[in-house]
Amino acid sequence: MILRPISLYALWGSQRQASTSRRLLEALQLACPEGITIAICDLIGDLPIFNPDNEGERTPAVVERFAAEIRKADGLIVSCPEYAHGIPGGFKNALDWLVSRDEVPFKPLMFAHASHRGDLVLAQLTDVLQTMSLHIVEDAFLRLPVAGKSDEMQAAMLLQAGESGLFSASLSRFAQAIATKA
């Protein structure tokens, strides 16, 4: 049972509007148990290339908006594909903007993975995110291999996962971890 509203902010690693990572996050958003909300970030593709010379007073407004959304969230969801055995450049750039800021240390994070493979990116992200002091909630890990499937098959798999309770169970475990940490 969720005792207080939980606000989650979802980051997706592929900036394609039709990406499976985004589709998975949208399906999670629709399957939220009562008391949990998910906002999906649409700012990552607008972030300029990270340059430490542009931090502090010179931080671009879009970076400040991105960081503010992360600050107000109780937890983060990351759904990120593997590009050439690594983290997509735009997503890594977004993380780089957060490294020296105070929004992310100890913030709970769950992975929602849309592929049957991609363990290299998960390992790399885990390393980077732990270095940034995020708290990865392993009990909430969600993998639904919709990548590479037809649009119809993806839709069917996402619907079935929502109806079966897979999404709400993962989100409830994440919310419980957030609630016990607070």
Mean of the pLDDT values across residues 7-21?
A: 91
Tell me: pLDDT of 2 over 70: no
Tell me: pLDDT of 73 over 90: yes
Average pLDDT taken over every residue of the chain: 95
pLDDT value of position 9: 98
pLDDT value of position 18: 83
pLDDT value of position 182: 63
pLDDT value of position 139: 96
pLDDT value of position 50: 98
Mean of the pLDDT values across residues 123-140?
A: 97
Q: Which two tokens stand for residue 127?
A: 């390393």
For the segment 160-178, what is each residue's pLDDT rounded down to a tens digit? 999 999 999 999 999 999 9
For the segment 26-57, what is each residue's pLDDT rounded down to a tens digit? 999 999 999 999 999 999 999 999 999 999 99
pLDDT value of position 17: 76
pLDDT value of position 118: 87
Q: Three-state secondary structure along the chain?
A: CCCCCEEEEEEECCCCCCCHHHHHHHHHHHCCCCCEEEEECCCHHHCCCCCHHHCHHHCCHHHHHHHHHHHHCCEEEEECCCECCECCHHHHHHHHHHCCCCCCCCCEEEEEECCCCCHHHHHHHHHHHHHCCCEECHHHCEECCCCCCCHHHHHHHHHHHHHHCHHHHHHHHHHHHHHHHC
